[in-house]
Amino acid sequence: NRKHLHIVVDTFYGYDEESMDSETSSVASLRMDRTPATPDEDLDESLAAEESELRFKHLTREYQALQRAYALLQEQKGGVLDAEMEAKGHEQLQADAQRYKAKIEDLEKELALKGQDSRWVEEKQLFLRRNQELLEKVEKLENENGKLQQELQDSKDQNELLEFRILELEERERRSPPFNLQIHPFSEGVSALQIYCIKEGVKDVCIPDLIKLLDILGDNGNLRNEEQVAIIQASTVLSLAEKWIQQIEGTEAALHQKMMDLELEMEMFCKQKGYLEEELDYRKQALDQAYMQIQELEATLYNALQQDKVIKYGEPLDELQKDELRTAVEKLRRQMLRKSREYDCQVLQERMELLHQAHQVPPRHIFMHVVCVSCNQT
């Protein structure tokens, strides 16, 4: 009877139990022999997953074919099979169902494991990308740090030049006498020589009329040659003198403008110097306060050491303990100074911004100069 069942399934549906068993054994051997994925097998994960899905679908189709074959047998026999054949067929179907169910569970477990392996690979790739991004950020920050250090050095050089320029202007102002240049502007068409004559007190002479009269006299034929030559030369000298005075006035105007620019620059430098002196005094006061705090901490540390067990029993400090104490005090002093400088630099930067808003002076150069001066003082 069981053999007849095999023939019916094989004839109508192409079902071969031996081939199925061999395929099932191959799947089972594949599942039992398969080891956890290693980094070298990460590239074959997708192919193995597709193969498992295909096997799962194939087993599902075979299970459905068995159900249809059983239904067909029931129809052909007309429900008159004996009890023994029906019981054996039912047991066989239940065994097949249990076996296929176990295979399905095994395949689902394999798919779950492969999914976990794929997630692990994705997490690893994400970690590698994140690590590469962090390395690029570190390199970028190092480059920016180098650029900032170069800009800081350039700013220090510019501050030194600015300080030297201030000293030079102060020395020039100290040596040079007071200079009060007053330019009297004249309207167009007025002779510069005429204005000069008026300033000198000669008000009866009209320079344009005098030049015209000399030209007329130079053309007079009744005069002797020497007189005509003298008149022509006098007219030429007057014209040249007028041009020369105009050039002098232009030079005076340029010098006056240059002097005004120098005075404005000197005023700005004086303001900067005064502000830097105030900030230097503030820095000195802050440094004095820091030294006082350090002395207080030294006294506190000394009192604490006096209360220590070693001191309490009257044992003196050896050289190593004294060196350690001096090192600790020096380290504490450097920390206090560094914190004080950081706070002072922040306050100075805020004040530089306020000064820039008030006087329209670039705050960066002044700030770097104040920092350099303060560091040199400390």
Are residues 47 and 107 located together in one domain of the fold?
yes
Query: Looking at the predicted structure, is the pLDDT value of residue 375 above 60?
Result: no
Tokens at 8, concatenated: 């019916």
Q: Give me the pLDDT at residue 308, please.
A: 56
Domain that holds residue 74: 2-148
Are residues 230 and 351 located together in one domain of the fold?
yes
Query: Looking at the predicted structure, is the pLDDT value of residue 3 above 60?
Result: no
Domain boundary among 106, 133, 148: 148
Identity of the residue numbered 94: Q
Q: Give me the pLDDT at residue 152, please.
A: 77
Q: How far apart (Å, rounded) are the C-alpha atoms in residues 250 and 258?
A: 12
Are residues 121 and 213 located together in one domain of the fold?
no
Q: Which of the residue ranges 130-134, 154-158, 182-186, 349-353 would you say has the lowest mean pLDDT?
A: 182-186
Residue 56 falls within a domain, yes or no?
yes
Q: Give me the pLDDT at residue 42, please.
A: 57
Three-state secondary structure readout of the chain = CHHHHHHHHHHHHCCCHHHHHHHHHHHHHHHHHCCCCCHHHHHHHHHHHHHHHHHHHHHHHHHHHHHHHHHHHHHHHCCCCCHHHHHHHHHHHHHHHHHHHHHHHHHHHHHHHHHHHHHHHHHHHHHHHHHHHHHHHHHHHHHHHHHHHHHHHHHHHHHHHHHHHHHHHHHHHHHCCCCCCCCCCCCCCCCHHHHHHHHCCCCCCCHHHHHHHHHHHHCCCCCCHHHHHHHHHHHHHHHHHHHHHHHHHHHHHHHHHHHHHHHHHHHHHHHHHHHHHHHHHHHHHHHHHHHHHHHHHHHHHHHHHHCCHHHHCCCCCCHHHHHHHHHHHHHHHHHHHHHHHHHHHHHHHHHHHHHHHHHCCCHHHHHHHHHHHHHHHC
Contact 359, 271 (CB under 8 A): yes
What confidence tens digit (pLDDT) does each residue in 99-122 have?
A: 888 888 888 888 777 766 677 777
Tell me what the mean pLDDT of segment 251-267 comes to.
85
Task: Name, of 137-141, 176-180, 182-186, the range with top average pLDDT.
Answer: 137-141
Residue 154 falls within a domain, yes or no?
no
Are residues 135 and 194 located together in one domain of the fold?
no
Query: Looking at the predicted structure, is the pLDDT value of residue 282 above 60?
Result: yes
Residue 157 falls within a domain, yes or no?
no
Q: Which of 378, 370, 164 is nearest to 279 (CA)?
A: 370
Q: Give me the pLDDT at residue 250, please.
A: 83
Give the pLDDT band of residue 203 (cuts 50, 70, 90).
Answer: low
Are residues 117 and 182 located together in one domain of the fold?
no
Query: Looking at the predicted structure, is the pLDDT value of residue 11 above 50?
Result: no
Task: Name, of 28-37, 231-240, 300-309, the range with top average pLDDT.
Answer: 231-240
Q: Give me the pLDDT at residue 191, please.
A: 66
What confidence tens digit (pLDDT) does each residue in 352-367 have?
A: 676 666 555 444 444 4
Residue 161 falls within a domain, yes or no?
no
Q: Which of the residue ranges 32-46, 73-87, 157-171, 220-234 would you say has the lowest mean pLDDT?
A: 32-46
Q: Give me the pLDDT at residue 8, please.
A: 42
| Residue 175 exposure: Cα atoms within 13 Å on the Cβ side | 6
Domain boundary among 148, 166, 188: 148
Tokens at 170, concatenated: 């102060």
Are residues 267 and 134 located together in one domain of the fold?
no
Are residues 259 and 298 located together in one domain of the fold?
yes
Give the pLDDT band of residue 36 (cuts 50, 70, 90).
Answer: low
Contact 283, 347 (CB under 8 A): no
Question: How many CB atoms are located within 10 Å of the residue 205 CB?
Answer: 11
Q: Give me the pLDDT at residue 34, please.
A: 47
Read off φ and ψ for residue 327, nearest 5 degrees.
-65, -40
Query: Looking at the predicted structure, is the pLDDT value of residue 142 above 70?
Result: yes
What's the structural domain count of the chain? 2
Contact 138, 348 (CB under 8 A): no
Residue 287 falls within a domain, yes or no?
yes
Q: How far apart (Å, rounded) are the C-alpha atoms in residues 205 and 57?
A: 126
Q: Give me the pLDDT at residue 313, please.
A: 47
Instruction: Kindly tell me the sign of the dihedral angle through the C-alpha atoms of 115, 120, 121, 123.
Output: positive
Are residues 322 and 222 located together in one domain of the fold?
yes
Residue 75 falls within a domain, yes or no?
yes
Q: Which of the residue ranges 102-111, 240-249, 298-307 would you say has the lowest mean pLDDT?
A: 298-307
User: Domain holding 70: CATH number?
Assistant: 1.20.58
Identity of the residue numbered 295: Q
Task: Name, of 64-73, 176-185, 289-298, the range with top average pLDDT.
Answer: 64-73
Are residues 96 and 197 located together in one domain of the fold?
no
Query: Looking at the predicted structure, is the pLDDT value of residue 148 above 60?
Result: yes
Query: How many residues comprise the chain?
Result: 378
Query: Looking at the predicted structure, is the pLDDT value of residue 4 above 60?
Result: no
Percent of the chain with pLDDT over 70: 63
Are residues 230 and 354 located together in one domain of the fold?
yes
Q: How far apart (Å, rounded) are the C-alpha atoms in residues 218 and 210?
A: 12
Q: Give me the pLDDT at residue 298, please.
A: 67
Are residues 103 and 190 located together in one domain of the fold?
no
Domain boundary among 130, 148, 166: 148
Give the pLDDT band of residue 204 (cuts 50, 70, 90).
Answer: low
Q: Which of 104, 141, 139 is nearest to 28 (CA)?
A: 104
Residue 309 falls within a domain, yes or no?
yes
Percent of the chain with pLDDT over 90: 0
Give the pLDDT band of residue 9 (cuts 50, 70, 90).
Answer: very low
Residue 298 falls within a domain, yes or no?
yes
Q: Which of the residue ranges 38-47, 81-90, 233-242, 259-268 would you say has the lowest mean pLDDT?
A: 38-47
Are residues 128 and 219 located together in one domain of the fold?
no
